[in-house]
Amino acid sequence: MNSMKALVFEQFGGPEVLAYKEIAAPSLEPGTVLVRMKAIGLNYADIYRRRGNYHLAGEPPYLLGYEGAGVVEEVSPEVEGLKPGDRIAFCDVPFANAELVQVPIAKAIPLPEDISFEIAAAVLLQGMTAHYLTHDSYKVQKGDEVLVHAAAGGVGQLLLQLAKRQGARVLGLVSSEAKQGAALAAGADEAFLYNSNWVEEAKSWSSDGDGVTVAYDSVGSTLMDSFSAVRTKGTVVFYGMAGGDPAFVDPRMLMDSSKTLTGGDLWNHVTTREDRIRRATDLFDWLLEGSLRLETPRTFSLQDGAEAHRLLESRQSTGKIILIP
């Protein structure tokens, strides 16, 4: 039986339940490749799963991690277009917190030589989220005024930049002065604090005083305030609930104000290998040309995964956190 080192947990709880130990390595199944991991992205979903907020199938030991990059080690016979030694990345393959990961060909994204494993593991999940939000949920146009919640977070900083490169004026909302600096550094034209009267501030910031064109809301509990901050005929894109459940929306309010509410979930948007590669290629190209910048990721060794979880949970970090096997 081939074995490998992995970060696992046997029961739900705090970061202390995570342990670095030897477990059985995944086998090569039809339509998959085995990838030796070089960098793994840490995401809030990993924390929710570790705490038991999200349903986990199967029996312990449980393995977290969905995003990362590495080198193909073995290829099943019917897989075409990939060979041992190829660099690939992925954003939606389970059990990534390990030395070896079994990756279905449909989810393997070729990684250009000039994009590092660390950057690939830092940009894909959040970058594809920002990509579909600004291209599919609401297509940001030149001259739009865009409000971004949690603007110093991973998706927030990328949303600011993508809206800017599409020609918008962009306003960020953040919870502290330090995060205000991070949002402005990422390209926000202005950044307001949540503890202010931000709805009125956003309206007066807008060019005609009626409100912004679109608000991207990942907080949830702020949804009705987002509606107040967008103009007549404006749009609210709801794609997360980091601050708690949203209030119910009265359809008559939508009718009276001609406003639009749309929801966003990444997995409804990246449904084919072609789509994943198209969006990833855009992100890689923009990184290489400099129109998209990433804060340098914080790296932890995979065996220090508990420490990385503590940092993410503290909400003190602004950039991406990466685990290195």
Average pLDDT of the segment spanning 226-235: 98
- The pLDDT of residue 319 is 78
| pLDDT at site 58 | 80
Q: CA-to-CA distance for 100 and 87, rounded, in angstroms?
A: 14
Q: Chain-wide mean pLDDT for the chain?
A: 95
Q: Please report the pLDDT score of residue 1 as a whole number.
A: 66
Which tens digits make up the pLDDT trace of 156-165? 999 999 999 9
CA 196, 198, 203, 206 dihedral sign is: positive
* Residue showing tokens 């991690």: 65
Question: How far apart are the C-alpha atoms of 37 and 22, rounded to whole Å?
Answer: 15
Pairing of strands 190-193, 169-174: parallel
Question: What domains lie within the chain, and their CATH numbers?
Answer: 3-124+271-324 (3.90.180.10), 142-263 (3.40.50.720)
C-beta atoms surrounding 316 within 10 Å: 11
Considering just the CA atoms, what is the radius of gyration of the chain in Å?
A: 20
Percent of the chain with pLDDT over 90: 90
Q: What is the mean pLDDT of residues 293-311?
A: 95
| 275-288 residue pLDDT tens | 999 999 999 999 99
Assign 23 a pLDDT band (cuts: 50, 70, 90).
Answer: very high
What is the structure's pLDDT at 16? 97
Q: Is the pLDDT of residue 315 over 80?
A: no
Query: How far separated are the first and last CA of the chain, in Å rounded?
Result: 20
Query: What pLDDT shows up at residue 309?
Result: 97
Q: Tell me, what DSSP letter sits at residue 282? A: H
Q: Over 70: is that where the pLDDT of 94 sits?
A: yes
pLDDT of residue 295: 84
Among 127, 125, 184, which Cα is nearest to 159's? 127
pLDDT at 317: 76
Q: What value does the mean pLDDT take over residues 225-242?
A: 96
**pLDDT band at 55; cut points 50, 70, 90:** confident
The yes-or-no verdict on residue 142 having pLDDT over 90 is yes
Residue 79 has pLDDT above 90, yes or no: yes
For residues 105-114, give the mean pLDDT. 96
